[in-house]
């Protein structure tokens, strides 16, 4: 653990040098008329931890930008706000980028911390359900819009299952032994256990549907007009995620102040579980946090085509993302 933290500290120093060099090459710090805005796709929680860590520790400022993080909620119109230019940046999942581009919204992913998607289906342990394909004869709370919901309903028959809208509360799950719901592995299951339930979390990623999560997006217009601001925000975001995975306590106190339902202990659990999902069990160097690959995007598009979420040929993988703005120069490719 100590060696890991020492390596993380070295990485932060190197990233700081990258930022200083980029600013000095430009001749001055970046300036904006107002803070850059980042719209979250949900209420502030652990999956946003690295973005908040960069704010709490001043990493955005050191990169030359000031940022305002805007909380979200169920069906927050993040993509619409980014595509229209109402906000400069937003968070969504990779499948959200694909559906947006299929609808003509010119948004692009520039940073993706979660290599393993935290999305899960939460069932009661006593149900005997061990995997998503086993789900039957219960009520399942799912948001209707996200691609994962369409994908699961396309792939599995779910016999005897009544699907109802998910409104963001675990209370119905706690009260009903024949109830399941969508969630994030470090959020809803933890809250449900706190309230006396015995939940089992089934990762959607284990079905093979594994979009990058908490993806930072911007618009094609922003990439063309303000590439230095994009680079500054991406650099700070990567630094923030390194900080959050190393020591999340200060950031989690801040997140708790914004979302009191998430106490610091729950957020600490989320931060610890995030290490596995971001670093793929320590298999990814911390300096590559945020990287994306063309193969992953192409596979996801094919899965969404098969589930009839988007039409074949409607979306081209290289247009969905770019790794150009990563401090490590993002060798994995992408368009824009």
The per-residue pLDDT for range 186-227, each reduced to its tens digit, is 999 999 999 999 999 999 999 999 999 999 999 999 999 999
Antiparallel, parallel or unpaired: β 36-39 and 89-92: parallel
Instruction: Please say whether the structural domain 119-207 has been given the CATH code 3.40.190.10.
Output: yes
Alpha carbons 141 and 106: distance in angstroms, whole number: 31
Percent of the chain topping pLDDT 70: 88
| Among the four given CATH numbers 3.30.930.10, 3.50.50.60, 3.90.1150.10, 3.40.190.10, the one describing domain 2-116+211-320 | 3.40.190.10
Confidence of residue 10 (pLDDT cuts 50, 70, 90): very low
pTM above 0.85, yes or no: yes
pLDDT at 7 over 60: no
Can you tell me the mean pLDDT for 233-243?
98
Alpha carbons 257 and 247: distance in angstroms, whole number: 18
Q: pLDDT tens-digit profile of 308-323?
A: 999 999 999 999 999 9
Confidence of residue 282 (pLDDT cuts 50, 70, 90): confident
* Residue 99 pLDDT: 97
Alpha carbons 45 and 254: distance in angstroms, whole number: 10
Query: Which residue intervals of the chain bear CATH 3.40.190.10?
Result: 2-116+211-320, 119-207
pLDDT at 167 over 70: yes
Q: What is the average pLDDT score of the chain?
A: 90
Can you tell me the mean pLDDT for 111-115?
98
For residue 139, give the H/E element and its range. Answer: strand 139-141
């Amino acid at each position: 653990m100590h060696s890991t933290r020492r390596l993380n500290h070295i990485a932060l120093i190197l990233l700081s040098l990258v930022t200083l060099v980029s600013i000095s090459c430009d001749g001055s710090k970046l300036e904006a008329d107002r803070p850059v805005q980042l719209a979250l796709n949900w209420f502030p929680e652990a999956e946003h931890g690295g973005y908040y860590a960069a704010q709490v520790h001043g990493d955005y400022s050191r990169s030359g930008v000031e940022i305002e993080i805007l909380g979200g909620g169920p069906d927050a119109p993040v993509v619409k706000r980014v595509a229209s230019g109402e906000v400069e940046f937003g968070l969504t999942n990779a499948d959200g980028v694909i559906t947006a581009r299929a609808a003509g919204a010119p948004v692009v992913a520039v940073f993706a911390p979660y290599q393993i998607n935290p999305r899960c289906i939460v069932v009661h342990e006593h149900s005997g359900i061990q995997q998503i394909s086993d789900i039957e004869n219960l009520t399942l709370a799912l948001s209707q819009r996200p691609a994962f919901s369409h994908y699961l309903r396309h792939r599995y028959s779910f016999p005897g299952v009544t699907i109802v809208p998910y409104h963001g509360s675990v209370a119905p799950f706690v009260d009903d032994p024949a109830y399941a719901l969508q969630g994030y592995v470090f959020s809803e299951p933890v809250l449900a256990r706190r309230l006396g339930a015995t939940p089992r979390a089934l990762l959607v990623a284990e079905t093979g549907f594994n979009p990058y999560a908490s993806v930072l997006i911007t618009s094609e217009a922003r990439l063309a007009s303000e590439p230095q601001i994009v680079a500054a925000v991406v650099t700070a975001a990567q630094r923030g995620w390194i900080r959050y995975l190393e020591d999340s306590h200060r950031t989690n106190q801040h997140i708790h102040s914004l979302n009191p339902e998430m106490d610091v202990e729950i957020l600490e659990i989320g931060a610890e579980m995030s290490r596995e999902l971001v670093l793929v069990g320590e298999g990814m160097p911390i300096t590559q946090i945020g990287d994306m690959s063309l193969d992953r995007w192409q596979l996801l598009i094919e899965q969404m085509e098969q589930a009839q979420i988007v039409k074949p040929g409607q979306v081209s993988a290289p247009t969905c993302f770019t790794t150009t703005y990563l401090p490590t120069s993002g060798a994995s490719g992408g368009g824009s």
